[in-house]
Amino acid sequence: MRKISIDELNEMVDSSYSLVTIISKRARQIIDGAKPLIETKTIKPVAVAIEEFYNKKFEVIYDYDKYLKEKEAKESETIEAEVTETPVMEEQSDNQSID
């Protein structure tokens, strides 16, 4: 693992408190059995969490309710786009013969 400065990490978040919270929650997930999102030689959960965060291997959600609303809106847009793009196949009538 290359040395990652605290200043570099602080530039990625709103505050030092946010940084500590993000890293500690991810480290707890790793301790509880979650698989690391990166290949690394270190076995320390906090170091793994820092490296994952620095390499943007996971998304930080600050407002979970807002995130859910945006996610639902994107999913409904995707579904609507799929419905409008899917061609409708006409059924073949029984009177037509198949060669």
Q: What is the pLDDT of residue 32?
A: 98
SS (H, E, C) the chain: CCCCCHHHHHCCCCCHHHHHHHHHHHHHHHHCCCCCCCCCCCCCHHHHHHHHHHCCCCCCCCCHHHHHHHHHHHHHHHHHHHHHHCCCCCCCCCCCCCC
Please report, in tens digits, the pLDDT of each residue of the chain (99 residues total).
678 999 999 999 989 999 999 999 999 999 999 999 999 898 999 999 999 999 999 888 877 888 888 888 888 888 877 777 656 566 665 556 555
CATH of domain 6-61: 3.90.940
Instruction: For the chain, give every domain's residue range.
Output: 6-61
pTM over 0.85: no
